[in-house]
Homo-oligomer: A and B are copies of this chain.
């Protein structure tokens, strides 16, 4: 594999040399925010939306971003170029910075790193995802913090429940997956949770879609409301709209990708490759 570079505070490092001092508040106190976007054929997708959210997350957590919006865009382009990965995922991560006493905030460290991107252009599925519900309300849900304590910890729980991912609920109110939003499709509505979730950028695109015969709407719904739904899917930057076949062992529809999910998936591809 070719050498891969990472930006730390706008300096390039070889991946193996890209390090952060132990006193950083991300390490000491789990304090940081990030965003993740995809780049396809050198085109950063929805980068304005991602940067809006990145700057908002930083502001909400009282973290200063050392680069301007334009400098961040330049850094993303430069990283894609130097790593020779015209199609990839890019993560912008901002930490609480070096803290002398391990608690007070320092000057944030900015890490820009690159990940392989699995192409998701196919539209046929033997099966969609299997989800298992779990009662947990993420803290500061509207801010894209680095807190995935529960999600990472629940990997064993997922395996024990023969699931691919977790679907969080807040005492019965369905919210989101750890890294994706959740949608359900009824006879005439495409519904996603309105409250206590991270408002995904793919989710926001879907909310603007016109689907014939359906209202696309954000509102509160519960686990009980999942009974009898026609389709379910999750949305994220890497998954687009991805069908869900099983929730808590119960099949959704016939378990295959449904027509609404398929249509939304295709519209997302169009938007991405426009």
Question: Which residues of chain A have a CB within 8 Å of any CB of chain B?
Answer: 6, 8, 15-16, 18-32, 61-62, 91, 93, 95-96, 101-105, 111, 113, 115, 136, 139-140, 145-153, 155-156, 179
User: 10 closest pairs, A vs B, by CB?
Assistant: A30-B30, A19-B19, A29-B148, A18-B22, A30-B146, A26-B27, A30-B147, A31-B152, A22-B111, A19-B21
Q: How far is the CA of A30 from the CA of B61 in the complex (A)?
A: 15
List the B residue with the shortest CB-CB distance to A17: B21
Q: In the bound complex, do residue A32 and residue B21 qualify as a contact, i.e. CB atoms below 8 Å apart?
A: no
Question: Bound state CA distance, A19 and B95, in angstroms?
Answer: 14
Q: Which of A28, A29, A95 has the most CB of B within 10 A?
A: A29
A29 contacts B95, C-beta separation under 8 Å: no
A35 to B72, CA, bound (A): 37
Knowing A22-B6, A115-B101, A115-B102, say if A152 contacts B96 (CB, 8 Å).
yes
Partner of A149, one of B6, B31, B152, B153: B31
Total copies of this chain within the assembly: 2
> Which chain B residue lies CB-closest to A27?
B26
Give A111's nearest chain B residue, CB to CB: B22
What are 25 A-B contacts defined by CB distance under 8 Å? A18-B21, A18-B22, A19-B19, A19-B20, A20-B20, A20-B22, A23-B113, A24-B27, A25-B152, A27-B32, A30-B31, A30-B32, A30-B146, A30-B149, A31-B148, A31-B152, A61-B149, A61-B153, A101-B115, A103-B148, A103-B152, A136-B139, A140-B150, A140-B153, A147-B149
Partner of A105, one of B19, B30, B136, B152: B152
Rounded to whole Å, the gap between the CB of A172 and the closest CB of chain B is: 16
State the CA gap A65–B272 with chains docked (Å). 44
Q: Among the listed B16, B29, B149, which residue makes an inter-chain contact with A21, where contact means beta carbons less than 8 Å apart? A: B16
Known: A103-B152, A105-B155, A145-B149. A95 touches B27 (CB 8 A): yes
Chain B contacts of A150 at CB under 8 A?
139-140
Give chain B nearest CB distance to A254 CB in angstroms: 31
Q: How far is the CA of A32 from the CA of B145 in the complex (A)?
A: 15
Partner of A30, one of B20, B113, B148: B148
Cβ contacts under 8 Å, A24 to chain B: 27
Q: Which residues of B contact A105 (CB under 8 A)?
A: 152, 155
C-alpha gap A139/B136 in the complex (Å): 9
Q: What residue in chain B is nearest A24 (Cβ atoms)?
A: B27
A102-B91, A153-B62 known; A20 and B31 CB under 8 Å? no
